[in-house]
Copies of this chain bind each other. A is one copy, B any other.
Amino acid sequence: MAKKQKSKKSKKKKYVYFFSKGQSDGNSKMKNLLGGKGANLAEMCRIGLPVPPGFTITTEVCKLYYDSNKKYPSGLKEEAELNIKKLEKATGKKFGDNKDPLLVSVRSGAAVSMPGMMDTILNLGLTDEAVRGLADLTKNPRFAWDSYRRFIQMFGDVAMGVEHHAFEHELEEVKRRIAKDKNIPNAESLVQEALNKLVPDTALTVEDLKELVSRYEEVYKKHTGSPFPQKPREQLWHAIDAVFGSWNNDRAIAYREIHNIKGLLGTAVNVQTMVFGNMGQDSGTGVGFTRDPSTGDDDLYGEFLMNAQGEDVVAGIRTPLHIDEMKKSDKKMYDQLATIRKKLEKHYKEMQDFEFTIEKGKLYMLQTRNGKRTAHAAVKIAVDMVTKEKLISKEEAVLRIQPEQIDQLLHPMFDAEEEKKGDIFSRAGLPASPGAAVGQAVFSAKDAEQWKESGKEVILCRLETSPEDIRGMHAANGILTARGGMTSHAAVVARGWGKCCVAGAGDITMELAKKQMRCGNQTINEGDWISLNGSKGIVYLGKIKTIPPKMTGPFGIIMKWADDIRKLGVRTNADTPKDTAVAIEFGAEGIGLCRTEHMFFEGERILSFRKMILVAQKVKNLRDAIAAETDSKKRKALEEELKAPLTQYLKALEELLPLQRKDFEGIFEALKGYPCTIRFLDPPLHEFLPHDEKGQKELADAMGIDFDYVKNTVDSLHEFNPMLGHRGCRLGITYPEISEMQARAIIEAALNVKAKGIKVCPEIMIPLVGNVKELQLQKEAVLDAIEKIKKERKLKKLPFEVKIGTMIEVPRAAITADEVARTAEFFSFGTNDLTQMSCGFSRDDAGKFLADYLNLGIYDHDPFQSLDANGVGKLVRMATELGKKTRKDLKLGICGEHGGDPQSVRFCHEVGLTYVSCSPFRVPIARLSAAQAVLEEKGAKKGKKKK
């Protein structure tokens, strides 16, 4: 430790980096040290662009500042002073000179752009004396005094915490005085807006501005207890303090939390010579993009204002002009900008977003950075840069697209302008399934169905949804729930369908009985139009215009590139031919999870299914009694008693068989030969039964049985922790006939489709296995069913391969994966449940504390959204290794929600899974992420080699 400190001391650290055209201490690769802004200013200087000179104090200083209780490291001030000298030399002006003062801006700038921090102080260096010098020098006293009063306000507000409002008040007072002087009526009582219209800032004379300066100086003194500092160096260090201080203000902390920004040292401080866009009609300011950020078109794009400073553009007082206007008004300047645009792109090989200022006809670059763009533009730009400009490789293009962003390309979206004007009902919901949806509010699944049937467009609004709501959910354009998280039933089902969903909008009170919902003082009644933004979690009152998704050319190209690169297969989670077709369209290479339970909710099936459940209970109870009975006579009597319900039970299953077989036929056909992993019945049986007396009575009537029997059966099926209850393969073990029926439906469907000349690859997946013996028993049941079918159809062997495997979702299965792999021909990691059981989180309940957990940094991410690599991931890794030890060619997939999460896809690649499976609308995301995982791995290996 002591040694390390010594070596630190011996090799003096550099804290300040100078930049000036053609001469820079730093470069664009030093973002961590100089911040994004500082690094790019240095880089622009290096490539000869016109940048006002300045210097950057490093982010390391920020860290040291906090580490040592807000003290600067020794030597910093001296180093800064040296840089001020260099700046004076570069500009030929003096800092603190009263005749020709060197004025600077002070800006924060971390490695990641962070709106929460202190932004900018301009005109620093002006004093009561220097303002006069500036007035003389520029022969523009109005400009000088206006600059000074702006500086005082900014400095007071931003650096010293004087309330903005206090300065505004003085400006208002002066304006009222002017209004009175001008005999404007009611000058005393005019509302501020009217006053500003009648007396704009531009109406202030030099004398008015002088008065304002002295009033501002009074405000400053009153609020800070000290007079406005008259030494530029004092001003400078106050400003630097403020920048560093803003690194840990609440807004900045909140921003970093919300955007999950971690591991930064701190912010840098940029001190840069001022240039002025407000020195007359030959001056101006603007922002530009090297390409159109919404379309991706290869054109200079931007806005500018003449005779204005940057803050005027931001304040929105004057409307800026489109950059094309400049082509007409100042062709030379436009051409200069166009040349710079080309130079920037050629150098950065990325679309840039830059700021510029024109001072008396001379162009200065103030900032450049990678530009934000729509998903559409991102894809087009990346593809163009490969195919047209040949700036980057295909691999780089693939790496440039944020996987999450392309989700936008797959769903209808709101027209952005229309949405801005939207009337918000609630913004507390989660962006559970992206896209936009518009419809009339309904409050029950049944209503949703009926309204839809009568030709209406509806949004289904529920406290939460359950499998019983499935048809209503399907009928709705969008789903809104007041409870539940990103992996609640509504969210999972909606994402599966690519249907818009806002979930867990906790501020909404659902009054389902009244068919209305309330939020704050607003109420929405049945039939009211509402609009959901499932990408943001916002609910609007009324209708907002939507724009349909486009599968544009470049998107297809980049996906093709991704496919060429990736090693992971990408499958989809789909339960219907329609979803399957959508997913195949999106590039899925098969189904990784076909849930069979949703199928039972359609149409009349639910009644057959309920009938089966009710009689199955009777059968099970009698079987248990028989097993326990040692008296052979009593046993025989019980066996006699069993006969009737057993017949009913088998008949109910027979009724379900053709329905389910038809479902599988549709899916096999839609798959066109791709493999299909079909999971046996998974949820506990009580989920299929009505829990309210009314529903139970209806069911009893429909079946012609006793209400009490229905009620008692539902009661006896009740579970304290259904998540850990009688579900998954446990159902198949206690009701082997259900498994047999499902196996038969799958195999018969496959035979029928195969007979049409379509290739079929059924894979049967046994859920919730914790012990290899469960799998053995269920595998035997499947093989028995196959043998029976072969006998019936007189087949020597099936004309296709059937794989039998399991989900790994119970921790015990992961730990004993070597044993499980003896029987399982494939594993599919069910990481939703594996996360629930490994972490001990019920995903339906975890909302109560998970937010705290993320805030406190206990988990970096919601483990239900992004696989908990350090915990749950260890089990996945362990199961993979153990499984492969037993069975070298074990096929390994993942079919939890994580299969569509970019970070989790990367993990799956790294662990060496065979494929990921996700909802159809996330298939392109998974394809891209899988490709990026390969490229990042290569990059990491290269990096290691270099070391």
Contacts and interface: CB of A to CB of B under 8 A. Distances in A.
Interface of A: 250-251, 254, 624, 627, 630, 632, 719-726, 730, 733-734, 768, 770-771, 773-774, 777, 809-812, 815-816, 833, 836-842, 844-846, 848-849, 851-853, 855-859, 868, 870-872, 874-875, 878
Contacts of A812: 838-840, 868, 871-872
A947 to B, nearest CB: 27
Contacts of A844: 719-721
B816 A874 contact: yes
Contacts of A833: 840
Given A725-B848, A871-B816, A733 B842 contact: no
Query: Closest 10 A-B residue pairs measured CB to CB?
Result: A721-B842, A724-B842, A720-B844, A812-B871, A810-B840, A811-B811, A721-B723, A773-B858, A721-B721, A719-B845
A809 B811 CA distance: 13
Contacts of A811: 811, 837-840, 875
Contacts of A858: 733, 771, 773-774, 777
Nearest to A725: B845
Chief secondary structure at chain A's binding surface: helix
Q: Which of A630, A833, A858 has the most CB of B within 10 A?
A: A858
A730 B848 CA distance: 10
Nearest to A717: B848
Contact of A770 (B627, B773, B840): B840
Contacts of A853: 733
Contact of A845 (B720, B838, B855, B878): B720
A845 to B, nearest CB: 4
A723 B724 CA distance: 9
6 contacts: A254-B630, A726-B849, A770-B840, A777-B856, A816-B871, A837-B837
Given A630-B251, A840-B812, A840-B837, A845 B771 contact: no
B768 A840 contact: yes
A251 B837 CA distance: 40
Contacts of A809: 840
A855 B720 contact: no
Contacts of A840: 724, 768, 770, 809-812, 833, 837
Given A721-B721, A721-B723, A768-B840, 15 more contacts: A719-B848, A722-B845, A723-B842, A724-B840, A724-B841, A724-B842, A725-B845, A733-B856, A734-B849, A770-B840, A771-B858, A771-B859, A773-B857, A773-B858, A777-B856
A681 to B, nearest CB: 14
Nearest to A731: B849
A833 B838 CA distance: 11
B839 A770 contact: yes
Contacts of A874: 815-816
A447 B734 CA distance: 40
Contacts of A254: 630
B871 A771 contact: yes
Nearest to A719: B845
A253 to B, nearest CB: 11
Nearest to A723: B721
In the complex, the count of this chain's copies comes to 2
B251 A849 contact: no
Nearest to A815: B874
A250 B639 CA distance: 15
A688 to B, nearest CB: 16
Nearest to A858: B773
Contacts of A851: 624
A679 to B, nearest CB: 16
Given A734-B849, A812-B872, A870-B816, A842 B719 contact: yes
Given A815-B874, A857-B773, A875-B811, A734 B852 contact: yes
B719 A849 contact: no
A871 B725 contact: no
Nearest to A851: B624
A724 B845 contact: yes
A460 to B, nearest CB: 20
Nearest to A116: B630
Contacts of A723: 720-721, 723-724, 842
A630 B723 CA distance: 37
Contacts of A725: 842, 845-846, 848
A671 B851 CA distance: 41
A723 B837 CA distance: 10
Q: Which of A841, A844, A878 has the most CB of B within 10 A?
A: A841
Q: Which of A771, A833, A875 has the most CB of B within 10 A?
A: A771
A717 B878 CA distance: 36
A849 B730 contact: yes
A631 to B, nearest CB: 10
A52 B766 CA distance: 58
Contacts of A848: 719, 725-726, 734
Contacts of A771: 839, 858-859, 871
Contacts of A838: 770, 810-812, 815, 837
A848 B616 CA distance: 13
A256 B815 CA distance: 30
Contact of A875 (B719, B777, B815): B815
B724 A722 contact: no
B852 A733 contact: yes
A415 B19 CA distance: 98
A842 B724 CA distance: 5
A837 B834 CA distance: 10
A859 B730 CA distance: 13
A632 B163 CA distance: 13
A863 to B, nearest CB: 9
Contacts of A770: 838-840, 871
A870 B815 CA distance: 9
A848 B734 CA distance: 9
A764 to B, nearest CB: 19
Contacts of A871: 770-771, 812, 815-816
Nearest to A484: B720
A96 to B, nearest CB: 36
Q: Which of A812, A840, A856 has the most CB of B within 10 A?
A: A840
A771 B851 CA distance: 15
A741 to B, nearest CB: 19
Contacts of A855: 627
Contacts of A726: 845, 848-849
Q: Which of A627, A812, A837 has the most CB of B within 10 A?
A: A812
Contacts of A734: 848-849, 852
Nearest to A877: B815
A868 B816 CA distance: 12
B627 A720 contact: no
Contacts of A719: 842, 844-845, 848
Q: Which of A844, A845, A855, A868 has the most CB of B within 10 A?
A: A845
Nearest to A771: B858
Contacts of A856: 733, 773, 777
A599 to B, nearest CB: 24
A312 B853 CA distance: 75
Contact of A721 (B816, B845, B870, B872): B845
A722 B810 CA distance: 18
A432 B398 CA distance: 63
Nearest to A770: B839
A777 B875 CA distance: 25
Contact of A720 (B632, B722, B857): B722
Contacts of A878: 815
Contact of A733 (B632, B849, B870, B875): B849
